[in-house]
Amino acid sequence: MRIGVLGTGAVGQTIATKLVELRHDVRMGSRDAANEKAQAWVAGAGERASAGTFADAADFGELVFNCTAGAASLAALEQAGEDALRGKTLVDVSNPLDFSSGMPPSLTVCNTDSLSEQIQRRFPETHVVKALNTVNARVMVDPSLVPGEHDVFVCGDDEAAKSEVVALLEGFGWPRKRIVNLGGIDAARAVEMYLPLWLRLLGAFGTPQVNIHVAH
Amino acid sequence: MRIGVLGTGAVGQTIATKLVELRHDVRMGSRDAANEKAQAWVAGAGERASAGTFADAADFGELVFNCTAGAASLAALEQAGEDALRGKTLVDVSNPLDFSSGMPPSLTVCNTDSLSEQIQRRFPETHVVKALNTVNARVMVDPSLVPGEHDVFVCGDDEAAKSEVVALLEGFGWPRKRIVNLGGIDAARAVEMYLPLWLRLLGAFGTPQVNIHVAH
């Protein structure tokens, strides 16, 4: 399918590359169509890869990934445009991390709201699905990097959109039973507020290739 | 050893009962020395069990558990008193949950602070160790209720106090390698902010006997 990937950082590049490998047509979006990282990615990713503005990428995609930094996501999606996002599934991989006071980062929104809910409220005709924000970029598209059983989460108000995302995650290598449906988009609070623990686990185990398994 | 357990709810009763089974002398503390739940617990728990005010229990204990509701913890510890808590390890099992707006609860403090840090700041000569707040009361003292490998976390600024708590957790049935040292008391933010995810996992799997294992 045609997929727009918003963001040119490690998460955007990793997901865009994996999607091309899976034979999707991918357009990477950034603030500036001449973005050097996006151009370099296109040059290396083959004929299914293209790049443009946030609006170009959102317009191109039948489905769109938000891989921008959380603190910049709402502005990036505003540039993508309500019309380009209307009726589409938006996979929100971002985390609302605030690095302005140094490490560890705090969250720009939490507790009684979440970034995904803010996005869903701003774009009510888009089907926002929170996913993959709880693992490192490389793990997102290659869960075998972390040994043993470990899980990812999906949240969203539209069940069909969630199913579409679950199918993509299976394509990334996540077994169906390792994908936990946490409920509506308000559950994004839970997975965004998990980030401080994830960052501590990185420190405790000395690797970003760390994840959690739900035992029950 | 002599242990004070502040709080008469499910967490306090479960931990106090387990500690008595492990042949510790336990005094349960509550706001009112005549608290019916505490009296009933003493009647059933044998000669190593006693009850009193928060101050009585804190004074009695060589080590103290805070099992009060998070929203009431600072007030309870104020009643326990700075002198009674001085120089002791305080195991903070509480979560700063705010149920005033219904379910799911929000947190009374998070992101740039935590309840454990508030307690540590208020009682600087007490060694606060956050532990066990990430699992159900029954699981705290019987990890075998959750199948497979799964982990608990300890945070605190005093390594000797953390080691003391780790030894107690091993007595509760947690294997040493399933107890993750997350760092200083500021890491309490991470485990307190995990609570919204824990509550979602309860809903998703339909059981409070759920926990996470760190795969790495």
pTM of the model: 0.97
* Residue of chain A with shortest Cα separation from B190: A197
Tell me what the mean pLDDT of segment B83-94 comes to: 98
Please give the ipTM for the structure prediction.
Answer: 0.97
Using an 8 Å CB-CB cutoff, list residues of chain B that contact chain A.
101, 106-107, 110-112, 146-150, 180-183, 187, 189-191, 193-194, 196-197, 199-201, 203-205, 207, 209-216
Tell me the domain boundaries of chain B.
Answer: 2-205
pLDDT band at B102 (very low <50, low <70, confident <90, very high): confident
B40 has which bridge partners? Answer: none
Tell me what the mean pLDDT of segment B170-180 comes to: 98
User: For A2-205, which CATH superfamily applies?
Assistant: NAD(P)-binding Rossmann-like Domain (3.40.50.720)
Encoding tokens for residue A199? 């960052």
CA–CA min distance A61, chain B (Å): 31
Low pLDDT (below 70) residues in chain A: none
* Residue of chain A with shortest Cα separation from B108: A111
Pick from A201, A205, A210 the residue to mutate for testing the B interface (most B CBs within 10 Å). Answer: A201
pLDDT at B169: 98
**Is the pLDDT reported for residue B104 higher than 90?**
no
**Closest Cβ–Cβ partner in A182, A196, A210 for B204:** A182
Residues 6+ apart with CB under 8 A from A148: A213, B213, B215
8 A C-beta contact, residue A53 and residue A29 = yes
pLDDT at A104: 87
* Residue of chain B with shortest Cα separation from A190: B197
Instruction: Name every chain B residue with its beta carbon within 8 A of the beta carbon of A107.
Output: 111
Q: Do B146 and A197 touch (CB under 8 A)?
A: no
pLDDT at A103: 86
Task: Match 């003391």 to its residue by tokens.
Answer: B164
Encoding tokens for residue B179? 């107890």
CA–CA min distance A89, chain B (Å): 23
Residues 6+ apart with CB under 8 A from B203: A182, A183
pLDDT band at B103 (very low <50, low <70, confident <90, very high): confident
Q: Provide the 8-state DSSP code for B105.
A: P
Q: Do A183 and B200 touch (CB under 8 A)?
A: yes
Query: Could you tell me where the DSSP H helices lie in chain A?
Result: 10-21, 36-45, 54-60, 70-80, 82-85, 115-122, 137-141, 159-172, 188-193, 195-205
Pick from A100, A146, A174, A200 the residue to mutate for testing the B interface (most B CBs within 10 Å). Answer: A200
CA–CA min distance B3, chain A (Å): 29
